[in-house]
Structure formats: C-alpha cells, structure tokens
Amino acid sequence: MATEISVGVGLVAIGAALALGMSAIATGIAEKAIGTAAIGAMAEKEELFGKGLILTVIPESIVIFGLVVAILILGLVSA
C-alpha cells in the first residue's frame, strides 16, 4: 500500500539533506587544508603530532552542527 507524501514534506527532507551534506563538504575542505599543514609541520618537527591531530579533529564540529540543524528541520514535519 503506497502512501502519498506532500510536496512540503519533500522540501523539508531536501532542506535537511542540504544542511547535512553541505556541512560535510565544508568539513572535508577544512580538514584537507588543516591536515596538509599538520603533515608539513610534523615533517619539520615530530613533536607537533599531538597539536596537528587536535587541530585536524576540530572541524568535525561543523558536521555535528549540520546534523543538529537537519534534525531541527525534520522536526518541522507534522506527522
């Protein structure tokens, strides 16, 4: 049995997908730049590994914010 989904529900789903997808792309771009710099710094001084690791992990918060926004957007759908 197929159920009908309104256009509004579909647009909310697209909005949630864009919030999460674009934040994931932004995180990838940020991690690429930070990771490159961290590897370059570690090539010069090996003791910078810890700082490089921490700075590489920090952009993951962008994805978490995107996930929270997507969940809030999906909460707009009235069942």
Residues 12-34: pLDDT tens digits?
999 999 999 999 999 999 999 99
Q: Name the average pLDDT for the chain.
A: 91
- Decide if 20 contacts 14 (C-beta within 8 A): no
The pLDDT of residue 37: 93
pTM of the model: 0.79
Q: Identify residue 16 by its one-letter amino acid code.
A: A
